[in-house]
Amino acid sequence: MSFGLLFPAFLAALAALAVPIWLHLRHSDKDKPFRFPSLMFLEKLPIRTASRRRLVDIPLLLLRLAALTLLVLAFGRPYYSRDVEAAMAHRPRAIVVLLDRSGSMGHTDVWAAAQDSARAKLAGIQQTDRVALVLFDEEAEIAQSFTSDLGLVRAAIAAAKPGDRGTRYAAALRAARQLLSAAPDATHEVYVVTDVQRSGVSGLAGLDLPTGMTIAAVPVSPKRRANSAIAAVDVRRIAGQRVTVAVQARVVTRELPGTRRVRATLALNGRPSGSRDVTLPASGDFTIAFDAVPLPSGRVSGTISLEKDALAFDDVFRFTLPDEDELRVLLVVPDDASGDETVYFERALAIGKAPTVRIERRRPGTLDARSLRDAALVVYWDARPTGAAVETWVRGGGGLVVAAGSRMAARPAVSPLVPATITGMTDRLSDRGGTFGEFSREHPLFTPFRDANSSLGLARFLRYPRLEPGAGADVIARFDDGQPAVVERREGAGRIVMIGAPLHAGAGDLPLQPTYLPLLRRLVLHTSGHESAPLWRLTGESWNPQAIAREPVVSTPSGEIVRPLADSAGTAVALKEAGVYSLYDGRVTGDPAAIVAVNPPPGESDLTPVDPRELLLGVRLSDQAVDADHARAAPRELEGNQGLWRAVLAIVVLVLLVETLLATRGWRGIAGHTTVAPSERSAP
């Protein structure tokens, strides 16, 4: 057992011990003189003054010094701690084994060793000890809660299998913390059996672990870290008589002993669609380009596979093909508009890819349901949108852009498809043109300009219409004079955006600015509702299918049917498995409304281990550090061990009581009581 002080700085107060010593040395000099009837006899005696300088009343002095010393010790907050052997001897152990089952643990050299290491931690466990097993990857699962039956734990270890997900140590440690909170009176020990990947550290920073928890990493890294993995896929549609797709895969190799000859296979909707024999470099990136293959009909998912190596989970990569690769935009242009007026607009939109934009010019009043059927967006160029077919189409989910100009200002009229009325034209020739003022940075239309908002202000507008937003319309951008520049309104399932900033070069220089292309592209993509879906997602992400299906039903790669519940943040499906998720609307029949390919995070393929101590650098631990060699007391016991100051204070009170009794009784009290009576007390 060892003792210590929480606040040893208080020991400096021991210098105050000099005070009672000094007082005892010159005690009499400071006292009130003792009046004696006559010094007639005392004056005849030889008096040695030196003898008065010695310490007087040693027992009383010792008592006072002891009281002062104990008082200082009490303020220093003494504590005691039992040593390791004593702690281990008196307290049962609560052991949590965290077994990593992420994709990287599926390495042929690792998993068996990991199971053996986990079993090894069960050795030496006594009957009073309890063990729990937690399997973790990106999430933690309590495979066996605390038990003294080691057979159950061994069975759970044997039943565990590595998956194809990433690693997150934070989830595992939180689970351990939750388990250990139910065993406050035991010594807490946590063993993390893992291949110690750096990618798993994410989320550990700021994690609070209770004091007294002992954490030890049990590294089981493979001896051979050679690995090749498919990191990304690129899919490109090739238009022709028959639409084909060209697929490329990017393969990353690490620490291969040499080049590796391997066959890569492409499959679309489960059918082999091509293969390539390639020679991978020992270390680095390599791109495999497959021959273009005809695009199957319907929703298309694909896989690219490499011949398996020691780590198999990353030798297969899943992806999906986007539904369509082209947006059809109908540009309604007034008859009196020249071709030069829209040339910047048309050419700017024609530049973009994935998706490409195909523009079809139309005259006002010529749009009907048939022409609108495959259209992604209708743009009215300084013309008022009219017609029931357009209105119906917009309410059904279509996108409408109204580029307001002088023609609309000259013939003001009411239209339900215009979110703002035009009250005239603003002429900014006198002050060299107006600019964009404030705009909604969070709006998807201005996403490219969030970090470069000054670039929007470069464009100058000489004349523009004065917009007055109608009911339900939001102003998402204004000119520098405060007038609305862009107004948006939802119309049924569709969206209408009215833009007052001139999109042609006749009334401003916006088409000549670098911001023109991204602004127009975002205008088309946002208004048309086209969101570029990723070719694949990663495990651990979530997917919001609500925009696609009203009653989403999701079929997971393992065949499980999930009906995601909507909450305040929307409807989200946790992508826990690698594979292809299929989304249906209402019932799981027919073609899915959407599919999502999910792959393990690429960092899981990096088998380079890190120092186990580095893993927990960001974890907030007290002085009960990460060290398996030191058993620490539980918080309750620690608090109890620090309660010595109360006992010390009680002893101080006792000592002071004894001191008071000693100082006022017996011969010590005579001098105090032997006083010269005041003259008034002499009266009878």
Partner 1 sequence: MTSTAPVNFLDPAVLGRIGDLALLARTVVEGFMHGLHRSPRKGFSTDFAQHRQYQPGDDLRFIDWKAFARTDKFYLKEYEADTNSAVVFALDASGSMDFKTGPVTKFDYGRFLIACLAWLSQHQGDRVGLMTFTDGIAEVIPPSSRHLQLMLHTLGRARATGVGQLDSSLKSIAHLTPRAGIIVLVTDCYEDPNVIGQAVDVFRARKHDVILFHLIDPAERELPGRAASTFEDAESGVRIPLRPEDLRTKYRTLMETHRRTLAERMTAAGADYVDVDTSRPLDHALYTYLDLRLARGRVR
Binding stretches for partner 1 (CB under 8 A)? 27-29, 31, 33-45, 47-49, 51-52, 56-57, 667-668, 670-671, 673-674, 676-677, 679, 681-684
CB of 631 to partner 1, least distance (A): 55
- Amino acid identity of residue 412, one-letter, is P
Q: Which residues pair with 379 in a beta bridge?
A: 331, 401
- Cis before 46 (ω within 30): no
CB of 44 to partner 1, least distance (A): 6
CB of 655 to partner 1, least distance (A): 20
- Reduced to 3 states, what is the DSSP secondary structure of residue 563? coil
Nearer to partner 1, 126 or 679 (CB): 679
Backbone angles phi, psi at 156, to 5 degrees: -65, -35
Six-digit token pair at 189? 């020990």
CB of 16 to partner 1, least distance (A): 22
Nearer to partner 1, 52 or 353 (CB): 52
Q: Which residues pair with 50 in a beta bridge?
A: none
- Amino acid identity of residue 630, one-letter, is H
CB of 665 to partner 1, least distance (A): 13
How far is the C-alpha of 249 from the C-alpha of 305, rounded, in Å?
10
Q: What letter would DSSP give residue 461?
A: B
- Using a 10 angstrom Cβ sphere, with 0-12 exposed, 13-18 middle and 19 or more buried, the burial of residue 22 is exposed
CB of 31 to partner 1, least distance (A): 6
Nearer to partner 1, 32 or 261 (CB): 32
Rounded (10°) angle between helices 58-75 and 18-25:
160
CB of 680 to partner 1, least distance (A): 9
How far is the C-alpha of 401 from the C-alpha of 379, rounded, in Å?
5
CB of 643 to partner 1, least distance (A): 39
CB of 658 to partner 1, least distance (A): 18
Nearer to partner 1, 29 or 551 (CB): 29
Instruction: Give the helix ranges, DSSP H, for 355-490.
Output: 369-372, 388-395, 406-410
Q: Which residues pair with 482 in a beta bridge?
A: none
How far is the C-alpha of 597 from the C-alpha of 301, rounded, in Å?
7
Nearer to partner 1, 242 or 673 (CB): 673
Nearer to partner 1, 24 or 237 (CB): 24
Distances (CA, A) of 4 to 9, 530, 625, 627, 643: 12, 68, 18, 21, 12
How far is the C-alpha of 614 from the C-alpha of 631, rounded, in Å?
21
How far is the C-alpha of 165 from the C-alpha of 427, rounded, in Å?
61
- Strand 326-332 and strand 377-381: the pairing is parallel
Nearer to partner 1, 44 or 242 (CB): 44
Nearer to partner 1, 9 or 42 (CB): 42
Six-digit token pair at 366? 């010529």
Nearer to partner 1, 241 or 682 (CB): 682
How far is the C-alpha of 225 from the C-alpha of 535, rounded, in Å?
29
Nearer to partner 1, 58 or 547 (CB): 58
How far is the C-alpha of 651 from the C-alpha of 659, rounded, in Å?
12
Nearer to partner 1, 64 or 489 (CB): 64
CB of 14 to partner 1, least distance (A): 25
Nearer to partner 1, 39 or 429 (CB): 39
How far is the C-alpha of 70 from the C-alpha of 10, rounded, in Å?
11
Helix or strand (DSSP H, E) at 293: strand 293-294
The CA dihedral of 121, 125, 130, 132, to the nearest 10 degrees, is: 20
Nearer to partner 1, 36 or 80 (CB): 36
String of b and e for 173-191 (b: at least 16 CB within 10 Å)?
bbbbbebbeebeebbbbbb
CB of 27 to partner 1, least distance (A): 6
CB of 78 to partner 1, least distance (A): 34
For residues 136 and 170, is the Cβ–Cβ distance under 8 A? no
- Selection from 272, 301, 346 nearest residue 555 by Cα: 301
CB of 60 to partner 1, least distance (A): 9
Chain centroid to CA 339:
52
Q: How far apart are the first and last CA of the chain?
A: 68
CB of 674 to partner 1, least distance (A): 5
Nearer to partner 1, 21 or 238 (CB): 21
